[in-house]
Amino acid sequence: EVQLVESGGVVVQPGGSLRLSCAASGFTFEDYSMHWVRQFPGKGLEWVSVISWDGSDTHYTDSVRGRFTISRDNGKNSLFLQMNSLSSDDTALYYCVKQMAETAGNSFDYWGQGTLVTVSS
Amino acid sequence: DIQMTQSPSSLSAFVGDSVTITCRASQGINNYLAWFQQKPGKAPKSLISAASSLQSGVSSKFSGSGSGTDFTLTINSLQPEDFGTYYCQQYNSLPWTFGPGTKVDLK
């Protein structure tokens, strides 16, 4: 059974930093691209970032590029999101999401339960 | 960025009804269109990819169609467990983008 378990979400002050983690199990983690998707309090979904199976290729949505860094540790079946210079606009539930297959043209299949990041003074 | 719109934004239906949700992309996305179901307090669940391919384990009451810019999700014989919010998403080009969602509730 595929499981994705996020952690690291807390209340942080504007300008602060945070590192989210996602522990993966039930599949061969190193074979798949992984994503972070966030859901704002108003319920809208926003794709945040993707990392290729080996970590060599990463992409970000414009609003987080230069502030967030996605990474992975295939030896520990873990995905990470380093978040810097946080603002209230980053307040959201952050999901770790598995891509269906490594090749282009594949969407998501499994989602974690999410970890809540609240940016507030 | 490719903008995704959905209609209606919400709908009410009876148990047993069939409903159709429409999703439109601001430019052609081939068939790189996915649908997700979300229930309150839960993570989204993947239903359909490639516009019409059911994810493993998803009921055949769900069906998707379309290509280019216009797509539909049809849910047949609505049951209480089908109520929730449905999102479409394009994955033709980065950044992948979602529609605003369609809330399906009980009439």
Sequence letter at residue A29: F
Mutate to test the interface with A, among B55, B91, B97 (most CBs of A within 10 A): B91
Q: Give pLDDT, residue A107.
A: 93
Segment B18-41, tens digit of pLDDT = 999 999 999 999 999 999 999 999
Mean pLDDT of B82-104: 97
Segment B42-77, tens digit of pLDDT = 999 999 999 999 999 999 999 999 999 999 999 999
Q: Give pLDDT, residue A43.
A: 85
Contact B95/A at CB under 8 A: yes
Q: Give pLDDT, residue A103.
A: 73
Q: Give pLDDT, residue B102.
A: 98
Contact A106/B at CB under 8 A: yes
Q: How far is CA A92 from CA A43, B33, B90, in A?
A: 9, 24, 21
B94/A50 CB distance under 8 A: yes
Residue B65 has φ and ψ, to the nearest 5°, of -150, 170
Tens-binned pLDDT, residue by residue, of chain A (121 aa): 999 999 999 999 999 999 999 999 999 999 999 999 999 998 899 999 999 999 999 999 999 999 999 999 999 999 999 999 999 999 999 999 999 987 777 899 999 999 999 999 9
Contact A27/B at CB under 8 A: no
Mean pLDDT of B92-100: 97
DSSP of B13-61, one letter per residue? E-TT--EEEEEEESS--TT-EEEEEE-TTS--EEEEETTTEEPTT--TT
Q: Residue ranges of the alpha helices (H) in chain A?
A: none
Cβ-based contacts under 8 A for chains A and B? 53
Q: How far is CA B96 from CA A119, B74, B91, B100, in A?
A: 24, 23, 5, 13
Give the whole-angstrom CA distance, residue A99 versus residue A57.
Answer: 14
